[in-house]
Structures are given as structure tokens and as C-alpha cells.
Structure 1
Amino acid sequence: MALLLFLLLISLFIIGVPIALSLGLASAITIWHGDLSPLLIVPQQLIASVNSFPLMAIPFFILAGSLMQSGGISRRLVDFSNTLVGSMTGGLAMVAIVTSLFFAAISGSGAATTAAIGAIMIPAMLAKGYPGGYTAANQAASGALGVIIPPSIPLILYAIAANVSVGDMFIAGILPGILVTLTLLIFAYFFAKANGLAGSIEKSSWMDVLRAGRKAILAILMPVIILGGIYGGIFTPTEAAVIAVAYSFLIGFVIYREIS
């Protein structure tokens, strides 16, 4: 039976069948051929594996990230980060890192963070003279903060698989996420200093910071509401994901009016 399962998997992979479908088909055929169990177990296991309330948080956090990108939230986060670190050596790279930190704390997705912030920061960094390889690597590494900083989708998946508290996993991701962010910022500074890459703007005044912060305050408050509600026991991570979607839509559609 093991040999049959292995051969079926290899055959399906070779003809280009998606991995998830290959696993399901190979298992079903092996069960049927070996009369190991009634085939009814296949749909039962399919339903049982996705019938999870915590798993519902994943599509909602992804949708929240998409709404943030189209609703102008990500651009305002970039502007705010620019006033904080944009004037420093390697400022544009640091802006990408800090903005990704903010965005990751809302969307929980590394892919969404990379796409949303990279669409703005990668062209800007290339225009400023940053090497293409470093620009791509910086944004990819910054986007990966979405894997560590809560509310992280991979942490949700791990918590479900290991049967541990999602809230505890989120707490465990805070310090490593901050450490990775600081490491990226330090490397960006020394890389820019070695390559003569100055800051993108003149040093911002406190009024500039406050002005940009006022425009981005609704976006900055979002992770506070989400994580504060989870840690305060007000709602579950899944309910927090739904609130993130509603909040993102409300800001983009009603307040910023950038979602048609």
C-alpha cells in the first residue's frame, strides 16, 4: 500500500496536479484499492479538517490587508514612517521596514505586507539608487514580519495544529518581531552608509510628524484595537479578524473615501 501511495503521488506530481489535490487523490485511491476503510471517511475528513472556527481568521485577515491597500491606509503608514526615519542614512529602506511592521500588525500576512508596501517602496528605492537585489531582499525580509508580528496567520495555524492558545502564540511573537525589525534597521543603516545612500528627505519637524501621524492615526490604532481586544478577552482572534475587515472597510469607504 505504501508503494502504491508513493507511485500515485509521484505520477500526479509529474502531470502537474496541485499538491493538495494529489495528496487527497492518492490517499483516496489507496484506501479504495486496499479496502482499508469506507470511502465515506474521505469527505468526512475533508469537512472536519476545515471545520475550524479559528481557521476562519485567515481569509478575514487577508481581506483586511487587501482593504488596507486599496483604501489608502498603507500609503498613509508610509508617509508617517517617512517622517520618522526618512531623513536618516538608508531612510527609504528604513521606511519600508517600519511601514511593514505597522502593516504586519494589522494584516497578519507576510504576502499581503510585501505586496502592499512593496508596490509603493520598491519603485521609490530603485529611483533613489538602491541596488535592485537589496531593494527586493529588504522588502521580502520586511514583509516576513507578517509571519512573526501578531496577529500572524502562521501562528494561528500552528496554534490550531499544536492545540495551544492563539493569544499565547501572539504574545510570544512580539519580542522576536521587534528584534528582527531592529536588526533590519541596523543593517539598512550600515548598508546605506557603505554605499553612499543618503536619506530621502530633510529632517522632519515635530509638526511634520504630528501632521502625518494625525492622518495615519486611524491605521495606527487598528493593531491596538485588534491585539488589545484579544489580550483583554473582549473577542477571539477570529472575531478580531472580522473586526479588522469592518474597520478597514469603514476607514477606506467612509472616512478616506478611496474604496468605491
Structure 2
Amino acid sequence: MNSSIISLSKKAISLLGIALLWQLVAMQMDPFVLPGPLETMRTVLSYFGDPEFYYAVYRTLLKLLIGMVCVLLLGGCLGLLLGLYPRWKPYLEPVIDIMQSVPPIAWLGIAIIWFGLTDLPAIFIIVLSTTPVLVVNLYEGFAAIDGKLMRMAKVYHVPGNKILRHIILPSLKSYLKSGMITSAGLGWKLAVMAELLTSVDGIGSLLSDARTNLETDRVFALALFMAIFWNVIKSCITFLFRSRVSLPTHLNK
């Protein structure tokens, strides 16, 4: 409990320092260029009474959720395939490299041509740009699995399904968590970017409107909301991986 309080106190001090620095810089500039934290907070509070804001948040979160489910299924399968059957690596590695090397903005251009100004371009770039992150994390997890434990399981003729459930998957848990957090963080930013460039309903669309109307305070307020929402998403993912998985004493039973 004390360590949690100390950690929260340090974060509060850090945020307070950022707010003070922000205020000092804002005092030297025009509010149109850099609104202060108090003005930004007033704009933040004004959004709570705006039904359009809640709908925009729902639309962005929905795209992120659909995209991350696809990433988990596709990236999880590819990561397990590369880990369990390394001989497939030379065939799949070029595909992963292409997905990882092409900038998301290029994928977005292709998606707009294919799917038009709909929700699909946002989901498309989330899947293509974040799947390699999860695949690489899982593949590294396989490399870190205790070789002695695997050899022991083979000596005792442990069935393959038990090796997968009791050795491989628990060993990959931390790598899967790291991969999902990194992928979700990137996916969150890509979803907003796609909405901003396509003006499709979502937080990005609100940002586009604020930019067009030169409402800098609204841009800062929405950026603050995005930071808050991301921390909530990250906490939810961390909570899902909180339960500990222990290896059974007798693997061969």
C-alpha cells in the first residue's frame, strides 16, 4: 500500500510540474497559439455536456476494439506459428517486414482507395501496422522459454497439448501483455489519425473540426482526453493479465 501511495505521489508531482511549466510558457504566448491549463480544463469540462463527444469516443473505441481483436487473432496465430515451426520463418518474415516497414499513412491511402471514407480504413491500418509488433513480441517469447524445461517435458513424454498449455503459453504471457499494450497504444493513435484524415465520426473528426475552426483550446482538450483514455485502456489490458499462471508440479500426468 505504501509503495502504491509513493508511486502515485511521484506521478502527481510530475503532472504538477508539467502543468506549472505549461502555465509559465502559456503566459508568454498568445492563447490562440498555446492556451493555458486552466483554459484547457474549462474546455474539457464543456465536453461533458456535449452528446456528440460521447458518440465520438464510442466510435473511436469501437474501431480500436475491432482492430485489436483482429490483431490478437492474426498476430497471435502468426507468432505461435513462427515459434512452434521456425522453418516457416523464411516464408513469413518478408510479409512481416513489409507490414512493419510501410508507413501507416501509405496503408491509409490504399485503404481509402479500397474502402472509401468509412470506418474500414482505420481498422485496416490498425491491423496492418500493429500486427508485426505482437508477432515479434511472441517470437521473442519463444526464444526466452527455458530450454531445460522443454527437454525435461520431452524426456517424460509430455503430450504436445500439455506442453503448449502448461509451458509455452504461461511463458509467453508477459510477452503477450507487452505486445498488446504496445499494439493498443499504436492502434489508438492510428485510429484517431485515420479519423482526422478521413473526417469519419470519432475523436479524430472532432480534432479535424477544431483544427478547421482554429480552436486551439479544443485541440488541447481533445489531446488531454486522448491521454486519459489511453491510460484507462492500458489499465484494462494490465488488469486482464493480472492473474498469475503457475506451472503444475507433474507435467506428465
After TM superposition, is the score higher than 0.5?
no
Relative to the length of structure 2, the TM-score reads 0.29
